[in-house]
Amino acid sequence: MDFDAYQAAMIASMKSRTGKTLDEWLALIGPQLPAERKGRLQWLKQRFDLKQNSAYLILSHLDEMDGTSLYAHGDALLNELFEGHDEALHGLYDRLLARVGSFGNDVRVLPRKHYVALSRGSHFALLRPVRNQLAIALALPANTQHPLLQPARGFGDVQKFPWQLRLDAQQLLTDDMVQLLHQAYVHSA
């Protein structure tokens, strides 16, 4: 199930799961929502005894209503993420995205505070600068073998992201590197 279908199913089942429709939750919570963005998700969960996904869904719709989003400021997040690193690293990131964009029109680039997710319904790669290198965690099968792959560290779920590539800022993107990203893209379908 892709993200849009999942979200539609969550909205359709919200009344049976929470006792209120999404519109009812938006009307109830909107006026009470704390102005400070930090901690809103936790506040929703505690105040209204909501589960994580329901609270996140309500919050994301409230944010859309006021013209913002949890991650609406992608450029600012990217600038913060690459701050203090060699500018060439940002250039490497841009070259990489240009190649990944050719995989299909379903590729989504999702900047987050500590990484950038590449997704096509589910994440197939996570990117982040580490010590003037671009670390790229790949959602490949654990038995994948390639001399460029290293065990992933610091990306969380090693079951989903067991492998990583580490690229230096000045490094050229080889066909092998792009092929590994493409394998992760295909594997995530």
Comparison of pLDDT for 11 and 143, the residue scoring more: 143
Query: Residues near 130 by Cβ (< 8 Å), separated by ≥ 6?
Result: 154, 166
Cβ atoms 132, 83 nearer than 8 A: no
- Which tens digit of pLDDT belongs to each residue from 38-50? 678 888 888 999 8
Share of the chain above pLDDT 90, in %: 29
What CATH number belongs to 74-187? 3.90.1150
Average pLDDT over residues 49-58: 82
Give the per-residue pLDDT at 72.
47
Residue 168: left (phi > 0), alpha (psi -120 to 50), or beta? beta
Query: What is the arithmetic mean of pLDDT over 66-91?
Result: 67
Helix (H, G, I), strand (E, B) or coil at 129: strand
Mean pLDDT value across residues 59-78: 58
Predicted confidence (pLDDT) at residue 35 exceeds the cutoff of 90 = no
Burial class (CB in 10 A: 0-12, 13-18, 19+), 135: buried
pLDDT at position 74 is: 56
Q: Tell me 172's DSSP state.
A: P
> Which amino acid appears at position 141 of this protein?
P
Report d(CA 169, CA 154) in Å as an integer: 20
Give the pLDDT band (50/70/90) at residue 19: very high
Domain boundaries, given as residue ranges, for the chain: 3-65, 74-187
Burial class (CB in 10 A: 0-12, 13-18, 19+), 39: exposed
